[in-house]
Structure 1
Amino acid sequence: MKPLSLLYHVLTGAFLGYKALMLVNNAVAFPRLRPQPPLPDVRVSLLVPARDEAANLRRNLPGLLAQGAAEVLVLDDGSVDDTAQVARSLGARVLTGEPLPPGWVGKPWACQQLARAASGDVLVFTDADVSWHPGALGAVTAQWQRAGADLLSVWPRQRNVTPGERLLTPLAELPLLLLFPLPLLLFPIPSASAANGQVMVFRRSFYWSLGGHAAVRGDVLEDVQFAYRVREAGGRLSLALGQDCIGVRMYRSYPDSVAGFGKNLLAVHGGRRGRLALSFALVFAIYTAPWLWPLPGARWLRLASVAERPLTNFLAGRRRPADLAEGLLGPLTPLLMLPVYRRALRRQVAWKGREYRQ
């Protein structure tokens, strides 16, 4: 075997072996939420930042209001639709967002205002597109209490309906389930941090000890940065899968997925555009190239490229035939991600009518 071929064989084998190890580890170790009644001795504030979210609130706010929290607050962040009217008519307390200050990203500013108005000992930030099912709040607070967490973050189970949204949206879970070594949360290593802004559960006192969302005011990837700040300050971070308790429909089409992933991808790579190029080269070499050329170990690489998504979906609780059939997209995924990489390379990123410099 030629030296270059041997190097390719060793590197791809090591990368896929690491992913397989993480998948097995997380399948055993990852906490999963189970529905249960709310804890009677915990005062919870459910907090929803909302910008042009009228349609999502109509679907999801009733389930949130039915959880039995002490309060449900919705912040209307300069919406041009009837977000405020819908939230108010359904029974939530609605706050009118203040203008975005210099240096702030929209979502951290909305969350900061919500936290200032909240009265709970536990602050639960959740997005408007997240669905809370019966027993979800009890499951969340029980896991938060069991873990002794200063921050608990939950990955809702994805609900992908149209073929377009299936192309990329399920990739949101892959970094967590295939790359993140969960046991590192047991050690004081701040860089070993992960979080999902769709559901963030804070101990109120610890949240304000960090300054609230002001600690991540300028970060587009504010959830992961907040997790890092929590661990850096000596706080306890816990993660969980939403399973039957909490779900989400993130994007409604392939273009929506491109826009959503495109705003975060550069931050995921530490703001380094060179890392973006290396990242694309890696995934293309592993998942697409073996189908185009007779590379070393091509047979096993082809198998891995179609098996990865079904295995991850199964672990995340998505086990319908259509979910498992997503594996066929594996070899095409790097090509489908090209518009995301191109968007991430821009100096300005747009999201919900606002532009941020990268």
Structure 2
Amino acid sequence: MSRLAGRARRAALARALTRILTRTGTVLAVGLTVHTVRNARLLRRPPDEPPAVRGRVSVLVPARDEATTLPRLLACLAEQTGVPDLEVLVCDDRSSDATADVVRAAAARDPRVRLVPGREPPPGWLGKPHACHQLGREATGEVLVFVDADVTLAPHAVAATVALLRGSGLDLVSPYPRQLAGSAGERLVQPLLQWSWLTTLPLGRAERSPRASLAAANGQLLAVDATAYRRAGGHAAVAGEVLEDIGLLRAVKRSGGRGVPCDGSGVAACRMYTSWAQVEAGYTKSLWSAFGSPAGAAAVMGVLALAYVWPAAAALAGSRVGAVGYAAGVLGRYVAAEATGGRSLPDALAHPLSVLAAAWLTARSLHGRRHGTLTWKGRGL
């Protein structure tokens, strides 16, 4: 009888703990979704009809093995409107393909385009920060607009981005391009880029606060005042950082500047990866640095699993409270997608699976970092 009573007590405790976790996760999911809705209302966007830009603008493109994607971006830059004084600098970051030839051909057609031959990064530097550093040293514009080679720009994109920077009074703005996703793996993971900061970052406070933790940015499209950039130390301040875009915003904040992510879905689009293998490789090389430490990564992923995975699992077991939590998570994902030009339905319904995929990629990244196996485009990290 005592054994049966002990089993009954343990079963009762397990049920009580399950209810507590389900309710806690649901409260978290509801609260985070309310925050997402509030942020969506505060989200800055570049204007649809920007005024002509006064002063020189430097568009800076770091490119390593981008011969396939560069022609489209250079064609977009050739069609930019409202920027009478524009220079386009492309750093060929020691590519093994015809990247340099693509840039030379574009420069022959358009005198605004110039090739910056990349040098091997010195010790302590990663490849992309060093390429951006070389571009920053060559740039002569009052505003520096960094653009990745796989981004597609609307004709008014540069003028609108500069107008957003100047009109907001900020020193750095990062208009997130609309993330294009085709395969199931892309659709599962890519929307988490915008969702993550719309859900967790208080945008109004982030604009005003110098705190490094209140920073999010995306180097796919990022504009910074040239004076603020140099005052912050430029990319030399983030020489060894895998997430150099977030690092640059933090450097700007440390030097007294302000910056914030924005919705750039109306001016730019980007398909970062085209398969699950590319998604896995891309996020594995960088996620280890996103949370400060392995303990920080475990804490963040634990909270996200509690908020978005546990209630969904409880809902499958018949919990009404869990169903509320699941619905809140889906709603938050839907709101973030609608606010940033992403896929909303049916993709939002798979949000718990997206969180699990992010946790898996984070664990894989931490494992690779610990064992020194991470590489990107032929270079060690």
Change (3 A) 1:185 1:216: same
Task: Give the residue type in structure 1 aligned to 2:104.
Answer: R
Task: Give the residue type in structure 2 aligned to 1:81.
Answer: D
| Match of residue 101 from structure 2 | 85
Shifted more, 310-319 versus 54-63: the winner is 310-319
**Structure 2 residue 314 is the aligned partner of structure 1 residue 298:** no
Unaligned runs of 5+ in 1: none
- Structure 2 matches for 1:188-203, cutoff 5 A? 188-191=209-212, 192-203=214-225
Deviation string for 1:57-104 (max 9, x for gaps)?
122221023224521010000111111111221233111101110000
Unaligned runs of 5+ in 2: 1-11, 108-112
Contact 2:63 2:91 in 1 (8 A): yes
| Distance in 2 (alpha carbons) for counterparts of 1:118 and 1:237 | 21
Give the RMSD, CA atoms, in angstroms.
Answer: 2.2
| Match of residue 31 from structure 1 | 44
**TM-score, with length taken from structure 1:** 0.91
1:265 aligned residue (278, 287, 311): 287
| Match of residue 310 from structure 1 | 334
- Structure 2 matches for 1:1-358, cutoff 5 A? 4-5=17-18, 7-37=20-50, 39-67=52-80, 68=83, 70-91=86-107, 92-191=113-212, 192-270=214-292, 272-289=293-310, 290-291=312-313, 293=317, 297-318=321-342, 323-337=344-358, 339-345=360-366, 346-347=368-369, 348=372, 349-356=374-381
Deviation string for 1:35-78 (max 9, x for gaps)?
33553412100000000111111222210232245210100001
- Residue aligned with 2:115, SS: strand
Give the number of aligned pairs: 352
Task: Give the residue type in structure 2 aligned to 1:80.
Answer: S
| Match of residue 5 from structure 2 | none
Change (3 A) 1:339 1:78: farther
Task: Give the residue type in structure 2 aligned to 1:64.
Answer: L
Shifted more, 172-181 versus 34-43: the winner is 34-43
State the shift of 1:221 in Å. 1.3
Contact 1:130 1:249 in 2 (8 A): yes
State the shift of 1:127 in Å. 0.6
| Distance in 1 (alpha carbons) for counterparts of 2:78 and 2:364 | 37
Change (3 A) 1:283 1:210: closer
Change (3 A) 1:185 1:286: closer
Contact 1:308 1:330 in 2 (8 A): no
Deviation string for 1:204-256 (max 9, x for gaps)?
11211222100111111111122112112211214321122111111111111
Contact 2:173 2:259 in 1 (8 A): yes
| Distance in 1 (alpha carbons) for counterparts of 2:325 and 2:136 | 48
Contact 2:32 2:332 in 1 (8 A): no
| Distance in 2 (alpha carbons) for counterparts of 1:255 and 1:338 | 16
Aligned sequence identity (%): 37
Shifted more, 310-319 versus 101-110: the winner is 310-319
State the shift of 1:326 in Å. 0.7
Change (3 A) 1:89 1:263: same
Deviation string for 1:293-347 (max 9, x for gaps)?
456722112323443432221111235xxx4211232232244335412321122
- Residue aligned with 2:309, SS: helix
| Distance in 1 (alpha carbons) for counterparts of 2:359 and 2:231 | 41
Change (3 A) 1:37 1:328: closer
Shifted more, 253-262 versus 113-122: the winner is 253-262
Task: Give the residue type in structure 1 aligned to 2:96.
Answer: V
Task: Give the residue type in structure 1 aligned to 2:157.
Answer: A
**TM-score, with length taken from structure 2:** 0.86
